Amino acid sequence: MSIQGISPKLPLIYDQKDGPYKLIKIYKEAIAQDFKNLVLTNPGERIMDPDFGVGVKRFLFETRETFYFQFPGTLNKQVERYMPFVRVVNVDFSPTADQITLEDWQDPHVISIKINYEILPLSVTDTLFINNI
């Protein structure tokens, strides 16, 4: 049984090799998991830190223009505060503002987000995809 790891892999999975739970052993993977948690967690949801989290789903009932404008700023503020070793490179939305009116777009009520970010100490870039929110 190996107990060396950075953090438990979410969702928690029993693993005989690592011990009670499967562990993340690569820094890039641990940071990617933490970044995803930051984006998906709603402010007030984390115990003892009500300011933590971007809360992407709380933007769902905003207009697209408001969402496209406010989300990147909120994301950057949260990353600056909770993950200063990460730099958000780019945030892309699908559909983009010019695709909203296309007649062949399948579902105009669905947004997907692609966030490119850099892990500064590792000099590595990664991408988080959030599909169909």
Residue with tokens 């992407």: 56
The answer for residues whose C-beta is within 8 angstroms of residue 42's C-beta and 6 or more apart is 53, 55, 57, 58
The answer for residues whose C-beta is within 8 angstroms of residue 24's C-beta and 6 or more apart is 5, 6, 7, 8, 9, 30, 33
Flag whether pLDDT at 101 surpasses 80.
Answer: no
Flag whether pLDDT at 104 surpasses 70.
Answer: no
Single pTM value for the model:
0.85
- 48 — pLDDT class (breaks 50, 70, 90): very high
- 3 — pLDDT class (breaks 50, 70, 90): low
Q: How far apart are CA 108 and CA 102, in angstroms?
A: 9
- 38 — pLDDT class (breaks 50, 70, 90): very high
Mean pLDDT of the chain: 87
Task: Tell me how far CA of residue 116 lies from CA of 34, 85, 88, 129, in angstroms.
Answer: 15, 14, 6, 9
Q: How far apart are CA 132 and CA 124, in angstroms?
A: 27
pLDDT at 107: 61
Residue with tokens 């995803």: 36
Of the chain, the percentage scoring pLDDT greater than 90 comes to 62
Residue 5 or residue 85, greater confidence: 85
